[in-house]
Amino acid sequence: MWVGSIRVGIWTADQADAGTDSLVQAEVLRDGNWISTLNLDYSTEDDLERGAFRDYFYSNLSWDNDQTQQLPPDIGRNPMPYPDYGYEFSNGPYGHLKLRLHIRGDDMWVKDKVDLSVKEVRLVPTSFDTVAWRQDSSWSIVGVWGQDVALSTDGSEGVTTWTLNL
């Protein structure tokens, strides 16, 4: 499975001091290994405020293969054995994909709920005798986590990271 786009939905708890001005990031892991870091931040908004919900969209993800071997330079196939972009999960995302939330400051944030959706990139027929890599047009929800967790670099307020396992 190739993931071409990711949507992370974030709910901040509706309780006193739940919002934060600290940067929160979501680190994408495959089998425990880091793939990328996604900033949960829109520069024009106060993102993670008390009781707020935000969707964060990341598309045309950088190319990161899992078990599919990359072709040598100057060698091509039609179709290629992999798309031009996306994260590969050779055995699917369940049991392999993790989202690790990481707060970068001591202004506590209380996570209420997180959901993760993806758009898969797959080979699809483009005519009666050809196929090409195309991204799905709709999102597929792959995970929802509802446990409230306080995050902060101040250990008396919460934990610095929280890993969400599929």
pTM: 0.91
d(CA 48, CA 12): 6
Give the domain CATH number at 159: 2.60.60.20
Whether residue 131 contacts residue 124, with contact meaning beta carbons closer than 8 Å, is answered with: yes
Nearest-10 Cα torsion for 38, 151, 144, 124: 10
The pLDDT assigned to 140 comes to 98
Distances (CA, A) of 53 to 14, 21, 105: 10, 15, 20
**Residue-wise pLDDT tens digits, 98-145:** 999 999 999 999 999 999 999 999 999 988 889 999 999 999 999 999
The pLDDT assigned to 155 comes to 94
**Residue-wise pLDDT tens digits, 58-107:** 999 999 999 998 888 888 788 889 999 999 999 999 999 999 999 999 99
> Which residue range(s) make up the domain with 79?
2-165
How many independent structural domains does the chain possess? 1
Distances (CA, A) of 133 to 120, 122, 156: 10, 5, 49
In 3D space, the residue among 41, 9, 37 whose CA is nearest the CA of residue 112 turns out to be: 9
